[in-house]
């Protein structure tokens, strides 16, 4: 089959074989990419219309006990400036976000042992107490089932944990020995089983990644059947072992977004900050390739320049209101609109596939 036929098959069958994905990802042309984007955009429009969901990102701690080779927050990075936000700081961010129309807050951090289950549950309950009509998404890395359950019981709704790469050997080249692909995937299955809206995802163009690895990521997503998928280009950070590696490409990221949309028409799929970092209109192009979510930063301006997963991160000098307004305008410029809505995952009632 040629690539165009494979893209059509992915849309109608919501699946391809590993070889088919590998062919598509390793040989696609500009025309193939634009064709996939058009179909993916139509799928997204069918499910979400021209509405874009917005999530307020609160990056509440830059401490991390892990040493992922790609990330600027890795514990060996002695140049990283570390900070922790207090419960009061976090609540202030959420209050401000609520006023700006956010109905989902994403609490993200390095893996920071300071925040025990008790502290985190108290924060989750307090946000829910103040804003009962909001959803809370956690992105805190790998924890025990017991911990995930306690946070869910405290009121958390969703959990983002990118699988990073589905291939165990590739995973081992991106992480030190103590971190295992299998454990991360087990965490994802646990999160889903106990009842979180669950998000996996990966970096596009991470060091050593092959087209076959990306095909495996697609099959992993198919099997896990997550409610959300977060992908963005790998971007080198100057204080990590991968400082001299190539960044992921805009085109590959856009193409992968389209393939994910075609495979899962109703999945919640953000056009990420990393995509906006490698291209001035990356997020707009992400939406036009099938994404339906944006995640402006709600962190206090003073700490933003300390949460540097990768180099040249955008929006580190802005106020939350500016970020929201900027994204509002960007979405309007391409005929979309940000809505005040929790933006929960909805099962598809009819699939056109
Ligand atoms: N500590 C948590 C959440 C923070 S990291 C966790 O690891 O899940 C959130 C995501 O940032 C990671 O999953 C990774 O995919 C992405 N990331 C880290 N370093 C990056 C880099 N150099 N370029 C692009 N994305 C990166
Ligand atoms: Fe820590 Fe997450 Fe960065 Fe890994 S990716 S070093 S777990 S913050």
Q: pLDDT tens across 223-273, in order?
A: 999 999 999 999 999 999 999 999 999 999 999 999 999 999 999 999 999
Domains, the chain, in order of start with CATH, read 3-339 (3.20.20.70)
pLDDT in tens, 149-158: 999 999 999 9
CA–centroid distance, residue 340 to ligand 2 (Å)? 30
Which residues sit opposite 294 in a β-bridge? Answer: 54
Angle among Cα 286, 292, 297 to the nearest 5 degrees reads 80
Cα 68 to averaged position of ligand 2 atoms, centre (Å): 6
Work out which ligand 2 atom sits closest to the CA atom of 309: 3
Q: Which residues line the pocket of ligand 1, CB cutoff 6 A?
A: 70-71, 108, 110-111, 139, 141, 161-162, 164, 203, 232, 234-235, 237, 274, 309-310
Task: Starting from the CA of residue 77, give the closest ligand.
Answer: 2
Q: What is the pLDDT of residues 47-101, one digit of tens each?
A: 999 999 999 999 999 999 999 999 999 999 999 999 999 999 999 999 999 999 9
| Contact 71 CB / ligand 2 (< 6 Å) | yes
Task: Give the per-residue SS3 of the chain.
Answer: CCHHHHHHHHHHHCCCCHHHHHHHHHHCCHHHHHHHHHHHHHHHHHHHCCEEEECEEEEEECCCCCCCCCCCCCCCCCCCCCCECCHHHHHHHHHHHHHCCCCEEEEEECCCCCCCHHHHHHHHHHHHHHCCCCEEEEECCCCCHHHHHHHHHHCCCEEECCCECCCHHHHHHHCCCCCCHHHHHHHHHHHHHHCCEEEEEEEECCCCCCHHHHHHHHHHHHHHCCCEEEEEECCCCCCCCCCCCCCCCHHHHHHHHHHHHHHCCCCECECCHHHHHHCCCHHHHHHHCCCCEECCECCCHHHHCCCCCCCCCCCCCCCHHHHHHHHHHHHHHCCCEECCCCCCCCCCCCCCC
Distance (angstroms) between ligand 2 centre and the Cα of 62 equals 9
Q: Whose CA is nearest to atom 5 of ligand 2?
A: 71
The ligand whose atoms approach the alpha carbon of 240 most closely is: 1
Question: Ligand 1 centre from 262 Cα, in Å?
Answer: 25
Distance CA 350, CA 99 (A): 35
State residue 351's pLDDT score.
Answer: 65
Token pair 């193939």 is found at: 32
As a whole number of angstroms, the distance between CA 104 and CA 138 comes to 11
For the Cβ of 111 lying below 6 angstroms from any atom of ligand 2, the answer is yes
Per-residue pLDDT band at 349 (split at 50, 70, 90): confident
Confidence of residue 352 (pLDDT cuts 50, 70, 90): low
Tokens of 286: 């992400």
Q: Which residue has the tokens 């979405």?
A: 331
219 alpha carbon – ligand 2 mean position (Å): 24
224 CA from centroid of ligand 2 (Å): 22
Mean pLDDT, residues 263-287 taken together? 98
pLDDT tens digits, 160-183: 999 999 999 999 999 999 999 999
């Amino acid at each position: 089959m040629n690539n165009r036929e494979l893209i059509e098959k992915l849309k109608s069958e919501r699946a391809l074989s590993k070889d088919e994905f590998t062919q598509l990802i390793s040989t696609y042309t500009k025309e193939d990419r634009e064709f996939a984007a058009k179909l993916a955009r139509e799928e997204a429009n069918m499910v979400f219309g021209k509405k874009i969901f917005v999530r307020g990102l609160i990056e509440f701690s830059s401490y991390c006990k892990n040493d992922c080779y790609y990330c600027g927050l890795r514990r060996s990075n002695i140049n990283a400036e570390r900070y922790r936000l207090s419960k009061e700081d976090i609540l202030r961010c959420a209050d401000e976000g609520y006023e700006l129309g956010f109905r989902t807050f994403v609490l993200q951090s390095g893996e920071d042992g300071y925040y025990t289950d008790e502290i985190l549950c108290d924060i989750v309950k307090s946000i829910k107490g103040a804003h009962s009509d909001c959803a809370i998404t956690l992105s805190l890395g790998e924890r025990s089932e017991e911990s995930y359950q306690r946070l869910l019981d405290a009121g958390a709704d969703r959990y983002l944990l990118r699988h990073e790469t589905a291939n165990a050997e590739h995973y081992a080249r991106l992480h030190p020995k103590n971190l295992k692909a299998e454990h991360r995937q087990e965490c994802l299955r646990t999160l889903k089983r106990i009842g979180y809206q669950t998000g996996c995802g990966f970096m596009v163009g991470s060091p050593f990644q092959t087209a076959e690895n990306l095909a495996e990521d697609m099959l992993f997503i198919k099997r896990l059947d997550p409610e959300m998928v977060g992908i963005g280009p790998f971007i080198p950070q100057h204080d990590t072992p991968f400082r001299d590696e190539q960044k992921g490409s805009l085109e590959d990221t856009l193409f992968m977004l389209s393939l994910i949309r075609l495979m899962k028409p109703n999945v919640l799929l953000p056009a990420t900050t990393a995509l906006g970092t490698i291209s001035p209109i990356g997020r707009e192009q992400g939406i036009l390739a099938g994404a339906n979510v944006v995640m402006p930063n709600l962190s206090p301006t003073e700490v933003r320049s300390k949460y540097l997963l990768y180099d040249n991160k955008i929006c580190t000098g802005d106020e939350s209101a500016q970020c929201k307004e900027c994204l509002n305008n960007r979405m309007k410029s391409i005929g979309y609109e940000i809505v005040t809505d929790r933006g929960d995952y909805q099962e598809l009632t009819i699939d056109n596939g």
